[in-house]
Amino acid sequence: MNKKTGGIIGTIASALFCGLPGIVLACLGVMAVAGAQGPEIASNNAKWQNAMIGGVAFLCGGAVLILIPLIVGFFSLRKKSSPIPTTPAAAIPNVVLASVPPLVATPTPAPVYQPTPSPMATGRSVAQPAPIAMDPSAQSVYDRLMALNRPTSPYQIIDSKSQNVDLIAEWKIVDASWYEVFGKANLTKVFRIHMKLDPARREVRAMDQELNISWKAGVPSLSFEASFFKGQKSSISFGTGYAFTENLAPGQVYKYKFNTNELKKPIQDVVAACGWTYKGVAFGKL
């Protein structure tokens, strides 16, 4: 039984056992006071006093009995409001709002473009690669192909993002320090290899490009002219029988006759060592 039900039962019980008898007593008190006003009792002072005292006593007793159920119902059925918890002042921490300085956007200085000098213009045989962001495996292939560059080699591999490919391998035909070597070979044609790395297929897609060479005062100039070729070249020598020998560490000697295979084979070996495939493209785009 909950508290509300108990209050209702207590109120009803007090009304029956106290309220009703109180009403009866109050009625008897009223009758006694009214009867004391009769001529027979009013003429007798003793009877009148006794009637008045009895009537007032009944009225007071009835009033007390009537108040009992009202008081019980008030205290048992009233809805008590839940007390608001108070926190001691000592338990409340002092909160200090620190002043926050206004946010001021720091201007970012504009990047300064510094073009990488062309190896042809500087006479350097080893081109410095531009920073690139690519697949880690593709980056490894890229780095190992660039590592083929060395000052004593008659070919070079350069970064060629500006030409919509990743790398270009070419003979150092326009390098001033190599004019004499290629002039003695009497070269009339030369070719380049355009390469693009495909990480999804783990392929190096390559396309050959043949150019004509004309010599003026011992200085070569390259042109496509009418004999332009773009595709795949077989192992063909473009010069006479002159051979250039590259001496490296003891036991390492390279002899060049400036044919296509001498430029392609080192690249193909590096690609195969990286677990990739060298794929020659004859038609379309890389």
pLDDT in tens, 160-184: 988 889 999 999 988 888 888 888 8
**From CA 65, how far away is CA 157, in angstroms rounded?**
117
Check: CB of residue 55 under 8 Å from CB of residue 30.
yes
Q: What is the pLDDT of residue 115?
A: 43
Q: What is the pLDDT of residue 234?
A: 57
Q: 3-class DSSP state for residue 258?
A: coil
**Which residues make beta-bridge pairs with 167?**
159, 195
Closest CA to 165 of 138, 190, 202, 196: 196
Check: CB of residue 147 under 8 Å from CB of residue 136.
no
Q: What is the pLDDT of residue 10?
A: 74
> How far, in Å, are 11, 18, 35, 164 from residue 25 at the CA level?
20, 10, 15, 116
Q: What is the pLDDT of residue 126?
A: 45
Q: Identity (one letter) of the amino acid at 71?
A: I
Q: What is the pLDDT of residue 184?
A: 82
Condensed to tens digits (0 to 9), the pLDDT of residues 107-149 reads: 555 444 344 444 444 444 444 444 445 567 899 999 999 999 9
Q: Quote the tokens at residue 83.
A: 């007390």
Instruction: Give one DSSP letter per residue of 67-114, joined into a string.
Output: HHHHHHHHHHHSPPPPPPP---GGGSPPP--PPPPPP-PPPPPPPPP-
Those residues of the chain that have pLDDT short of 50 are: 89, 92, 95-98, 100, 110-132, 226-228
**From CA 239, how far away is CA 182, in angstroms rounded?**
9
User: What's the alpha-carbon Rg for the chain, to the nearest Å?
Assistant: 58
Q: Quote the tokens at residue 101.
A: 């300085």
This prediction has a pTM of 0.49
Q: What is the pLDDT of residue 112?
A: 42
Q: Is 17 left (phi over 0), alpha (psi -120 to 50) or beta?
A: alpha
Other C-beta atoms closer than 10 Å to the C-beta of 119 total 19
Check: CB of residue 154 under 8 Å from CB of residue 181.
yes
**From CA 242, how far away is CA 258, in angstroms rounded?**
9
Q: What is the pLDDT of residue 194?
A: 93
Q: Identity (one letter) of the amino acid at 201?
A: R
**From CA 237, how far away is CA 187, in angstroms rounded?**
9
